[in-house]
Chain A
Amino acid sequence: MIALSYALTITTPSSQVARAASLAPGTEGLLKQTALHLSKMEGGASIGGFPGFEPPDDDERYKRKVEKSTATGEEVNTWVKEINNFLRQIANKNPGVTLEKILEKQGLTSEQITSFSNALKDVHLNASTRVGYGVQESTAKTLEELMRLLGVGTW
């Protein structure tokens, strides 16, 4: 955690194409998808400068799930599995590279990188509280293994 107090300025990291060019092909899209799915579990907030998740306007129930974090354990399990799927692909495409380094290459600022890893930690805790209540132990385990593989601390 950065020992600073500041407001995060949101820019679009994906616009920094030159830096992203050094990433394995397809990584940029996977990062955007990961951020979008993290956002779904973080009330639709912007994660790491990527646009936040916008639930459809005509679905009040779904909007509430996202904006008030009222998703069921089974829904959380599905969403975390989606995040795991994107993280796995990012790790496979960039073997041995930490998420921090990947996000740096993508052009994210240190604040945006912290935002991304803080969201992952929130999702990890959310999944842990639901183990046995909709979230499978294997889903939580995979998330932890991927976070470890990508150098993001769980505890």
Chain B
Amino acid sequence: MVKQFGFRPFHRMHDGILIHITLDEWPADVPLPEDIKLLETDDGVVHPFWRIVLEPNRTIEAIGGIFQMNCSRDATSKKFEHVMQNVGWKSNGMLFQEERRTTIRYTHSIDDAYVEVSLLQSKDLETTRVTISRTLKHPYIPPVAEEEPVEANVEPALEEVAK
């Protein structure tokens, strides 16, 4: 991790960078229910991340976080459906339900962005762990290599003239 003197701490990944963000910096286009909180573990709160992945022909921008709701999975699911629909995200039945986990994929009409929400109900049914990621894939066309400068050929040509 590069920490000192930088604009803010970031982690160099094998294919890009990862920056931890605060809850205030969480993107407004992925709304969260009011009573949601960041997951608290035995070594503190787990902060969301903003990750930029650089691939040869595209840049992937991902936001991810782990949260907790003090209510059942069904109640959490309903709250998400409500807040997500308000800003144009649609699940269109992209829902995968298991005994204790539900995974919902939301897409947006204006671009290729998608949000995946995974809800994991605790055994005692009191809490739900919420894992959220928003992924944007930006196409990238590498710039065409510059032509070799003309000057590079001048010198040998002059030498030829001198002979």
Contacts and interface: CB of A to CB of B under 8 A. Distances in A.
Interface of A: 1-8, 10, 42-46, 65, 67-75, 111, 114-115, 118-119, 121-122, 125-126, 128-134, 137, 140-141, 144, 155
A1 B105 contact: yes
A137 B11 contact: yes
A43 B60 contact: no
The list of the 4 closest CB pairs from A to B, nearest first, reads: A72-B43, A45-B100, A8-B98, A70-B41
B95 interface: yes
B123 A1 contact: no
Interface string B119-144: 01111100101010101010000000
Contacts of A5: 93, 95, 97
B20 interface: yes
Dominant secondary structure of chain B at its interface with chain A:
strand
A2 B101 contact: no
Contact of A70 (B11, B42, B95): B42
Contacts of A125: 64, 66, 131, 133
Contacts of B12: 137
Contact of B62 (A68, A133, A155): A155
Contacts of B116: 121
B1 A69 contact: no
Contacts of A71: 41-42
Interface of B: 1, 9, 11-14, 18, 20, 39-43, 46-49, 51, 53, 60, 62, 64-66, 92-101, 103, 105, 116, 118, 120-124, 127, 129, 131, 133, 135, 137
Contact of B13 (A72, A115, A130, A141): A141
A133 B93 contact: no
B129 A134 contact: no
A119 B116 CA distance: 13
Contacts of B64: 125, 128-129
Contact of B46 (A67, A68, A118, A129): A129
Given A5-B97, A45-B99, A137-B11, 5 more contacts: A70-B41, A70-B42, A126-B131, A131-B13, A133-B46
Contact of B98 (A45, A133, A141): A45
Contacts of A68: 122, 127, 129
B75 to A, nearest CB: 17
